[in-house]
Amino acid sequence: MLDAMTTSPFFGLTLSALAWCFGSWVRRKTGSILCNPMIFAVGGIILFLVITGIPYEHYAVGGDIIKMMLAPVTVVLAFNIYNQRKVLGEYFVPVLVGCTVGSAASMGSILGLCYLFDIDRVLTVSMMPKSCTTAIAIGIAESGGGVAGLAAAGVMIAGLTGAVFAPVFSKLFRIKDPVAEGLAIGACSHALGTTKAMEIGPIQGAMSSIAICLCGIISSVLALFV
């Protein structure tokens, strides 16, 4: 009976939804930037599976359905560029240069560090697109022989870092221009960072949304030459 329940797609979907709701509740109650819902959702799911002894494969039956939704969600990102076309037109050159430099710096830093520490190529390719949104990062990693799971983990860490520490970094480096701040957040920490950018201000949120799309395109092109 238990196996029948846990192998149902509804188990993974329900557990994911409850974990996210719990994380959101903790965030609202504490108000702390460290209490990101994603951290509690991922940690809660892992803890639940370990305590109950339910195999990850059972959870993945439903959890993989969420992964399947990433592709259409990525396509929807194109609407962000369309909706922000006026802002993009006004700041076209800074946006294009900023996203190009941001993508190159992100991928270049991974390549440099992996070369310095003599890291295996599979891990290097998997971590290289860490600053892209998940669906694009997985595509880039797999096309180069990387591992999708490692790519997703790198994306999550980069996103959580941006979502939690973006305001701190802005103050530390004295970034006062909302356009520059939004581009930096979107280029480094994709959708998770964008949620924080939207909280900071409407311009930051708009520019971060644009950066997600453009950096995904630019990173896909740069990956062809690596």
Residues 47 and 88 in one domain: no
Q: Are residues 112 and 178 in the same domain?
A: yes
The Cα–Cα gap between 17 and 13 comes to 6
Give every CB contact of residue 38 below 8 A, 6+ residues apart in sequence: 23, 156, 159, 160, 163, 192
Residues 186 and 159 placed together within one structural domain of the fold: yes
Residue with token string 């609202």: 28
Q: Residues 110, 18: one domain?
A: no
Same domain, 76 and 48: no
Dist. CA 97–CA 87, nearest whole Å: 15
What's the pTM value of the predicted model, to 2 decimals? 0.75
pLDDT in tens for each of the 226 residues of the chain?
566 677 788 888 888 889 888 888 888 888 776 677 777 888 888 899 899 888 888 888 877 777 777 667 666 666 766 777 777 788 888 888 989 998 999 899 999 999 899 888 888 999 998 888 887 888 888 888 888 888 888 888 888 888 888 888 888 888 888 888 988 888 888 877 887 888 888 888 888 888 888 888 898 888 888 7
Interatomic CA distance for residues 223 and 72, integer angstroms: 22
What's residue 78's pLDDT? 65
What was the pLDDT predicted at 195? 78
Amino acid 214: pLDDT: 86
pLDDT value of residue 29? 83
**DSSP state letter for 132:** S
> Are 10 and 107 in the same domain?
no
* Separation of alpha carbons 147 and 100, rounded Å: 25
CA distance 106 to 219: 9
Q: Tens digits of per-residue pLDDT, 46-60?
A: 899 899 888 888 888
Residue at which a domain ends, from 11, 33, 68 = 68
Residues 181 and 197 in one domain: yes
181 in the same domain as 107: yes
What pLDDT was estimated at residue 173?
87
29 plus 116 within the same structural domain: no
In terms of residue numbers, what domain contains 43?
2-68
Please, how many CA atoms are within 13 Å of residue 104, restricted to the half-sphere of its CB? 7
